[in-house]
Amino acid sequence: DLPPRVRVYEVGPRDGLQNEKTAVPTEVKAEFIRRLAGAGLTTVEATAFVHPKWVPQLADAEELYPRLADLRGVALPVLVPNERGLERAIALGARRIAVFGSATETFSRRNLNRTIAESLAMFEPVIARAKAAGIHVRGYLSMCFGDPWEGPVPIHQAVRVARQLRELGCDELSLGDTIGVATPGHVLSLLAELNEEGVPTSVLGVHFHDTYGQALANTYAALEHGVTTVDASAGGLGGCPYAKSATGNLATEDLVWMLDGLGIDTGVDLARLTAASVWLAERLGRPSPSRTVRALSHK
């Protein structure tokens, strides 16, 4: 059975923009987030408190975050890899953070300069301090299905790190198909194995990149399994600077088109969302790769 309602977890301003080569002005980012909120999105991942040399595009987090202070009714989670990042996020009043681990050793080193074990040791005090301060913690798990350097990722390997993130106290987990290689059967196998190993579907979200055009099919499979949190990026922006061959996330418009058609409530106004993506695409100087954005904006 499909769920009656889905929480769309918008990642465009973070996962989408982090991959843009040319610096996007802070006021454009702030306006983009406002337009996304205006379209009815209630969770918008705003930025990342990572090392500015690693992700230069998001080096303006201190300038951006305070500009969003008056946005009401919208959760604005931020990425935080370590205690330095947590301090920066707390100083600006963030109430939701996300740590980000990897199911593979190679990506863990490339993305965090740490082995998986070292990354978990880095997250432990972050999660403990955040939870003590009443901050909600999401745990991303990248490379759940395949890794550009290691190839297919065994399910037990992803399950092991997912369980470790849960044991550290993550309130929710987001299963990342960082390079977009997953197919629906693989998604269902991973979800079933996670349930077997004590990770309930209620804490799981899915995070698909659309490299091979499988993101919507994978999402549908996850919905049928009972997942109700789906990550997506407005206009299909994105990729990951530390994972070659990663392209944009599932486009939020493509997702909302499918969910609207299924009668699943999201609270998102597709016309306003499309307008926000077209507005940003004009500023970035190239069209959105989302099929739905193209179809709706050429009418």
- For 289, counting Cβ atoms within 10 Å of its Cβ (0-12 exposed, 13-18 middle, 19+ buried), the class is middle
User: In the set 12, 16, 81, 235, which binds ligand HMG (CB under 6 A)?
Assistant: 81
- Check 98, 158, 216, 240 and give the catalytic one: 240
Here the tokens at position 278 are 């077209």
- Among residues 166 and 209, whose Cβ is nearest to ligand HMG? 209
Those residues whose C-beta lies under 8 Å from the C-beta of residue 160, and which sit 6 or more positions away, are none
Q: Binding to ligand HMG by residue 208, rule CB under 6 A? A: no
Among 242, 247, 272, 297, the residue binding ligand HMG under the rule CB under 6 A is 242
Tokens representing 282 are: 């004009």
Considering only 57, 104, 164, 178, the residue that binds ligand HMG (CB under 6 A) is: 178
Asked if 176 is part of the footprint of ligand HMG (rule: CB under 6 A), the reply reads yes
- Residue 279 as a binder of ligand HMG (CB under 6 A): the answer is no
Query: In angstroms, what CA-CA distances link 284 with 61, 158, 196, 233?
Result: 19, 35, 44, 15
Say whether residue 15 binds Mg ion (CB under 5 A). yes
User: Token match 């977890």: residue?
Assistant: 9
Q: Examine residue 253 and tell whether it contacts Mg ion (CB under 5 A).
A: no
Q: Which of 26, 31, 38, 54 binds ligand HMG (CB under 6 A)?
A: 54
**Beta bridge partners of residue 233, listed in sequence order:** 251
Residue (35 or 207) nearer to ligand HMG, CB: 207
Q: How far is the CB of 249 from Mg ion (least distance, A)?
A: 6
Task: Give the span between the Cα atoms of 86 and 127, in whole angstroms.
Answer: 9
Provide, rounded to whole angstroms, the least separation between the CB of residue 43 and ligand HMG: 14
CB of 85 to ligand HMG, least distance (A): 3
State yes or no: is 144 an active-site residue. no
Tell me the H-state helices in the chain. Answer: 26-38, 61-64, 83-91, 105-112, 116-132, 155-167, 184-196, 215-225, 252-262, 270-284, 291-297
Residue number, 38 or 241, with CB nearest to Mg ion = 241
Are the beta carbons of 54 and 288 closer than 8 angstroms? no
Q: Is 142 in the site for ligand HMG (CB under 6 A)?
A: yes
Question: For the chain, what's the residue count?
Answer: 299
Q: Contact residues for Mg ion (CB under 5 A)? A: 15
Q: Contact residues for ligand HMG (CB under 6 A)? A: 15, 18, 48-51, 54-55, 79, 81-82, 84-85, 88, 100, 111-113, 140, 142, 176, 178, 207, 209, 240, 242
Q: Catalytic positions, please?
A: 240
